[in-house]
Amino acid sequence: MPNIYQVAMFNAERYPDKVAVSDERQALSFGQFCARTRALSAYLKGLGVKPGDRVAIMTPNSIDYLALLHATAVGGFSLVPVNTRYGAAELRYLLDDAQPTVCIVDPAYRALREQIEQEGGLSSAVQWLEHLPESLPDHRADDPVQHRFGRVGDEDVAIIMYTSGTTSSPKGAMLTHGNLSANAVNYIMELGIDANSRSLLATPLFHIGGFGVVNGPILYAGGSLHVVPRFESDAVMDALRLYQPTHVFLLSAMWVGLTDHPDFKDLSLPGAQFVQTAAAPLGQWRQDLIRTVFSNAEFSWGFGMTESCVTTIKNRYTQEILEHPGSIGYLWRHVQYRLVDADGKVLPDQRGPGEMQVRGPTVFKGYWRQPELTAQVLDAEGWLHTGDLIRVDDEGFAYFMGRSKDMIKTGGENVAALEVENCLASHTDVREAAAFGLPHEYWGEELVAAIVPANGREPDVESLREFCRQKLSGFKVPKRIFIVDSLPQSSSGKVQKFLLRQRYV
């Protein structure tokens, strides 16, 4: 597979004046973007960064962030994106684990950096940077082949992406140059992305979805990205009006923020061709509103994980999920999959439900410095054990039944948390919902739920339970419902239920 720098250079030759990336201050052609990529690689080399080293970055989205992703192919280092929501303990954990040579930390997080410097005791020395120089000379490699194509192979690690840690400490998933390119090819083939495509990059780059879903593939195809530093409803709506993207990907929590905005319903973006969401269910009225605003766009779910370099399942057309209610799409053509039972045995009937395991060129290399943990999820034959329970219908459309560990066993019955959450989220008084189990002497686990009220609503708990009774079996109705201001979420928008259990146990 080619690497992403190599393909950016191809686009620079093919579309020399085409805008590759832009933000509110500037726009760079593919040639200028590749020059910035080489300049940053040379700058880091001057700071002592060698092939195989790690460079951590804790900043909002930016053109330089994208350039550093591409610079991994030029300098041979690995980029370690850092969640900008991290506190001192989490950042220290990552620094001790990844041991980066350089850590780029935005001035907004200076106090965090200073706290770690004052405490000392990191397992390895790190050079801190607050800024990358605005002006750097282009750097041509002595080897013309290396200048054009970079210096890495498919199996070299481009990104060490720390997973969201919904059940445990974050783990550094090693994504290779081959993974990134294979993911881009998948998107280009499955969605028909081309050099005329334009996207709005507002999903954070410290989450694999920020670059891997829609955005990176569009740049790979010769299209253009407009960068929004961070998600803010007003800023994103302004950018949508001004930039008029053809493709938009936002996490579900971001779509919730937009659809709750009083002015969102007045937007009209008929030029958009494709919008996608991921991470959590969206209520039907929110989906309908999104389809009204993006009147000519296909609406899509996306399903995958960091370890599979994002997407393995999604639909191409709105009609596909309308004709297959509850479906998350179909398995992509370059992904092998199999369904297994609780003992890991391949199901004779591959319709399931069963745990989905996937294999293919987007499957990650393993967890950084954790071979035993890697062996638990990535077997000797290359199958990634996702932990996702999936059912496949006769037409090949997949249905997510929940996480294999996200089942509540109450009174001898297994209840999929997702089914309860979807029911609660369909109520007009509910913005978000999370179902989980608490230890119980009689039931084994007591099925409970936490809900965030919809704007301006004051839900009644008993009315919500009665609503569930009308739609679900009795044992699937939450025994208790807690009303909360917000649900604890990881950077990817996944609810961290272990924190809810700690709160209410």
Q: Are 246 and 214 in contact (CB under 8 A)?
A: no
Q: What is the pLDDT along the chain (505 residues), one digit of tens a residue?
A: 899 999 999 999 999 999 999 999 999 999 999 999 999 999 999 999 999 999 999 999 999 999 999 999 999 999 999 989 888 888 999 999 999 999 999 999 999 999 999 998 898 999 999 999 999 998 887 899 999 999 999 999 999 999 855 445 679 999 999 999 999 999 999 999 999 999 999 999 999 999 999 999 999 999 999 999 999 999 999 999 999 999 999 988 889 899 999 999 999 999 999 999 986 678 788 999 999 999 999 999 888 999 999 999 999 999 999 999 989 999 999 999 999 998 899 999 999 999 999 999 999 999 999 999 999 999 999 999 998 889 999 999 999 887 776 778 787 666 878 889 989 999 999 999 999 999 886 677 899 999 999 989 999 999 999 999 888 878 889 999 999 999 998 766 678 888 998 899 8
Strands (E), 307-383: 310-314, 329-331, 336-340, 354-359, 366-367
CA 266/CA 47 separation, integer angstroms = 50
Q: Report residue 421 as tokens.
A: 């959450």
Strands 102-105 and 172-176 come out as unpaired
Q: What percent of the chain has pLDDT over 70?
A: 96
The pLDDT value given to residue 205: 97
pTM: 0.84
The string of pLDDT tens digits covering residues 371-425 is 999 999 999 999 999 988 899 999 999 998 877 767 787 876 668 788 899 899 9
Each residue's pLDDT tens digit, 92-138: 999 999 999 999 999 999 999 999 999 988 989 999 999 999 999 98
Closest of 170, 239, 248 to residue 206, by C-alpha: 170
* Ordered alpha helix ranges (H), 393-496: 417-425, 461-471
**Contacting residues for 24 by C-beta, under 8 A, at least 6 apart:** none
> Using an 8 Å Cβ cutoff, are 262 and 286 in contact?
no
Domains, in order of start, for the chain = 325-405 (2.30.38.10), 410-504 (3.30.300.30)
pLDDT averaged over every residue in the chain: 93
How many residues in total does the chain contain? 505
Question: Residue 147 corresponds to which amino acid?
Answer: H
pLDDT for position 166: 46
DSSP 266-327: G---TT--EEEE-SS---HHHHHHHHHHTTT-EEEEEEEEGGGTEEEEE-SSHHHHHHSTT-
